[in-house]
Amino acid sequence: MQAGHEGRRHPRRLHRHRLRGEGQHLGRRAEDGRPRPGAVRRVRAAAVRPAARQDDGVRQGLQGRGGQDDTARALYPVARTHWERIETVAESFGDLDPKMDAREADLEQGQRWTGWHRIEKDLWPARAGKYESLTRQERARYADDLLADTRTLDGRIGKLDFTVDQIANGSRGLMEEVAKGKVTGEEEYWSRTDLWDFQANVDGAKKAFEVLEPVLERNDPALEHTLEERFDALQVLLDRQRDGSGFTSYDDLSTAEVKRLADAVNALAEPLSQLTSAVLS
């Protein structure tokens, strides 16, 4: 995704102003009501750096004596959360996105399958039919590759700048991702941990919305109010599926519960589709 060029900070030309710089706290407003410089970068860094620690835990579980599968399975959805929160700008990660997050069904001919879902299938092979498990050496290689890619991503985060329209479009795109993959149970096909991803995508979309909220509150307060209500309504439904510090398996959802979640996502996606034009008006 290409970023727009630098521009003067004019109230009607916010899309030409990149959010950059360091040292400001997310959620506070500049005196003119614009998002604080550096807010987006700080959010992305905060999301990615814990992932490196969690990925290391998954790696250790995969490589541990006796094949500590239970440890790796417990850490898998937790580590995935950090990745899923930053999918608003995943296209900015270049080759790291397909290397880290490709599903088996999405592979192109000749593409080597690596990343989260390659590991997921090996940890939860029950739905794979006649599946030949990875050797310990193969597990170690895939786990090391994922950890190395996560650390590379962490290093890139501080060098990325995002335009206002990229953030607004990313928030909308995340809800489209939820509608296509999380509500349907397609994303985490092997582990059935889709609700963890669902929550993380909602968190990421809402964080992007909050970065732009000072501008939206000024330009379109009615839309700002609607989005707040729709995010809250969706969160109520997700909270009903919590199980301890995590979530219930996707397979435990009833057809009615899936429909209610889908309806809430669609109800949020409609006003989110107006976000970009509202903040750029």
Q: For 102-120, what is the mean pLDDT?
A: 93
Q: What mean pLDDT is predicted for residues 212-236?
A: 96
> Is the per-residue pLDDT at 28 higher than 60?
no
Query: Do the Cβ atoms of 53 and 238 come closer than 8 Å?
Result: no
pLDDT tier at 63 (50, 70, 90 boundaries)? low
Q: Is 28 exposed, middle or buried (0-12, 13-18, 19+ CB in 10 A)?
A: exposed
pLDDT at 6: 32
- pLDDT for 11 equals 30
Mean pLDDT of the chain: 79
Q: Tell me the pLDDT band of 180, cut-offs 50, 70 and 90.
A: confident
| pLDDT tops 60 at residue 57 | no
Rounded to 10 degrees, the C-alpha dihedral 235/237/44/275 comes to -60
Six token digits for residue 99 = 């290397």
List all residues 6 or more positions away from 139 whose beta carbon is below 8 Å from its beta carbon: 62, 63, 119, 122
- Is the pLDDT at 10 greater than 60? The verdict is no
> Which of 191, 196, 203 lies closest to 245 in space, CA to CA?
196
pLDDT at 120: 95
- CA distance to 3, 80, 175, per residue, from 180 (Å): 26, 18, 9
Q: What is the CATH number of domain 14-280?
A: 1.20.1420.20
| Whether residue 15 has pLDDT greater than 80 | no
Average pLDDT over residues 122-135: 91
